[in-house]
A = this chain, B = another copy of it.
Amino acid sequence: MAITTRPISAITTMMVEMTNVSGGFSPVITLDRTAAKPLHRQIYDAFRATIIGRNLQSGQQVPSSRTLALELGISRIPVLSAYDQLLAEGYFESRRGAGTFVSSSLPDQLMSCEYRSAGPDQPPSGPRKTSDRSALLPGREESPWVFGSGAFSVGQLAFDHFPLQIWANLVSRHARKVRASALNYAEPMGSRDFREAIATYLRTARAVHCDASQIMVVSGSQQALDLSARVLLDPGRPVWVEDPSYRLMQFALTMAGCRLIPVPVDGEGMDVAAGVKTCRKARAAFVTPSHQFPLGVTMSASRRLQLLDWAHNAGSWIVEDDYDSEYRYESLPIASLQGLDHGKRVIYIGTFSKTLFPAVRLGYMVIPTDLVDRFVAVRRALDVCPPSFNQAVLTDFINQGHFARHIRKTRMVYAERRSALVVAVEQEFGSRLPILGDEAGMNLAVKLPPGLADREISIRAAARNLWLWPLSTSYLGKPVHQGFILGFGSIKKSDIPAAVRRLKDELSAHPKWS
């Protein structure tokens, strides 16, 4: 074979490369010992058909003749004979020291004459119908601003300030400590130690009224919203949602088949009296009292009490999403709504996606004691249990104080970025672009002057890698404001003035701006 003449170093490189497209899997081969066709020919035909049909691809490793003979339960002779023929015809190639592979350069005439497309079949005309409720959700391409990174993408963090080295050390230490027993299914509520650490944190820093038996570990606040909707609400039931509010929360309720009742948000948070007037009998209210998404309002004490009164009188539930309450700048931290209620009617939700990093996929909920059994039953039907490894790593990260330190450090980082953004917006725009909700979190909102439509500006800006989340898309009813949600989590302080000038360029290009 040509390859045997190459120098060793080239072969080694190739072996490493090949490792990345192989796996040594055996193809599905059905042998018929009673057939007239001899075994070696059946094996040859099976490989040839699999290669032509592209189920075995160029450069992919095939099992050794010995392994395949063992798996097929036959002698090695017919396998060797089939392999010899496949090598001779150029379907296979062997590489010294590495094994046998599907040829990386298949004969041209084979590909042009015999190849029939085995790529995914396109349906005759457009996508087929799925469930009615799934059809209500927008497609990915309809909101390009969600998927960017850089200025002013929402939900992005100061990743460069994460203590990667400490985290990596904890990961390595746990990897070495893993015992076979830790490979099994985990508790559906999450690991006990992790839930203790979360309960301590929530009692102290968020004044949540809880113990570990009420904490359920989830994959992030989104799973907690979905799970709450499914445990608490049946299809067709009315639910209060803040208007405007977080779209993925709206989608979770839509998928649960709920009837969404938009309740306006003013300077004190959700307007409870308006909600009572529209639909007193709503079965639940989904709220963000610490830092309303997207307007940034903090719910006032009197509204909190009104909301709890309504829930107790109507026998309804409150789902409190406390997604970024750890980051609060000018005033002091606000205690959770759940703590006020002593956990009777409130399901409390939080996430490590803002305080740690989103890829960890860990969040938590605090469940009233009598509902724990139902949440566990439904959770098992959704995804059985959370993965265990990250829970163990994060438990140490919290208990060793790294988590509290990281929050303190990033609070200062975000405070600086926020101030820089506020200053730059005021400098560039004066009072033409009023700022809302800059007291907490990693995003604020700016209001556009009348006559400008946010969505079209956002789509144009996204094409130039400037991410402006249009405020109007967060409304269920008629948008009260047009404007943008600007994330400042991942943008360096020094880059903010230039980014704000880019925003100004986008707006200046609009005929109605001038």
Which residues of A pack against B, CB within 8 Å?
A: 19-31, 50, 54-57, 60-61, 63, 67, 71-73, 118-123, 126-128, 130-135, 137-140, 149, 155-157, 159-160, 162, 164, 167-169, 171-172, 175-176, 178, 180-186, 197, 200-201, 203-211, 213-214, 219-220, 222-223, 226, 230-235, 248, 251-252, 254-255, 257, 332-335, 339, 342-344, 353, 357-361, 368-371, 373-374, 376-378, 380-390, 398-401, 403-405, 408
Are A380 and B251 interface neighbours, CB within 8 A?
Answer: yes
Return A71 CB to nearest CB of chain B, in Å.
Answer: 8
Are A357 and B140 interface neighbours, CB within 8 A?
Answer: no
Return A382 CB to nearest CB of chain B, in Å.
Answer: 5
Which residues of chain B are near A57, meaning CB under 8 Å? 200, 203
Which residues of chain B are near A219, meaning CB under 8 Å? 219, 383-384, 387
A381 CB contact (under 8 Å) in B222, B371, B376: B222
Are A183 and B140 interface neighbours, CB within 8 A?
Answer: no
CB-nearest residue of chain B to A411: B71
Are A370 and B28 interface neighbours, CB within 8 A?
Answer: no
Are A257 and B235 interface neighbours, CB within 8 A?
Answer: yes
Are B405 and A200 interface neighbours, CB within 8 A?
Answer: no
Are A373 and B342 interface neighbours, CB within 8 A?
Answer: no
Are B255 and A378 interface neighbours, CB within 8 A?
Answer: yes
Are B200 and A183 interface neighbours, CB within 8 A?
Answer: no
Which residues of chain B are near A390, meaning CB under 8 Å? 387, 389
Besides A122-B370, A254-B381, 9 new A-B residue pairs in contact (Cβ under 8 A), listed by A number? A26-B404, A120-B213, A120-B343, A131-B232, A169-B175, A172-B175, A183-B357, A248-B381, A387-B390
Which residues of chain B are near A405, meaning CB under 8 Å? 24
Are A176 and B183 interface neighbours, CB within 8 A?
Answer: no
**Which 10 pairs across A and B sit closest by C-beta, in order of nearness?**
A183-B357, A361-B387, A171-B175, A251-B381, A159-B180, A127-B370, A55-B203, A120-B369, A137-B377, A168-B175
CA–CA, A56 to B207, complex, Å? 9
Q: How many copies does the complex hold?
A: 2
CB-nearest residue of chain B to A356: B183
A368 CB contact (under 8 Å) in B67, B73, B120, B353: B120
CB-nearest residue of chain B to A332: B30
Are B22 and A399 interface neighbours, CB within 8 A?
Answer: yes
CA–CA, A206 to B382, complex, Å? 26
CA–CA, A28 to B333, complex, Å? 6
CA–CA, A57 to B211, complex, Å? 11
Given contacts A56-B204, A203-B57, contact A400 B28 (CB under 8 A): no
Are A164 and B178 interface neighbours, CB within 8 A?
Answer: yes
Which residues of chain B are near A197, meaning CB under 8 Å? 23
CB-nearest residue of chain B to A205: B25
Which residues of chain B are near A140, meaning CB under 8 Å? 373, 376-377
Are B235 and A235 interface neighbours, CB within 8 A?
Answer: yes
Are B383 and A223 interface neighbours, CB within 8 A?
Answer: yes
Are A184 and B159 interface neighbours, CB within 8 A?
Answer: yes
Return A186 CB to nearest CB of chain B, in Å.
Answer: 6
Are A126 and B230 interface neighbours, CB within 8 A?
Answer: no
Residue of A149, A209, A376 contacting most chain B CB atoms (<10 Å) = A209
Return A18 CB to nearest CB of chain B, in Å.
Answer: 10
Return A23 CB to nearest CB of chain B, in Å.
Answer: 5
Which residues of chain B are near A357, meaning CB under 8 Å? 183-184
A222 CB contact (under 8 Å) in B167, B171, B222, B384: B384
CA–CA, A185 to B168, complex, Å? 18
Which residues of chain B are near A344, meaning CB under 8 Å? 121, 123
A334 CB contact (under 8 Å) in B28, B175, B204, B251: B28
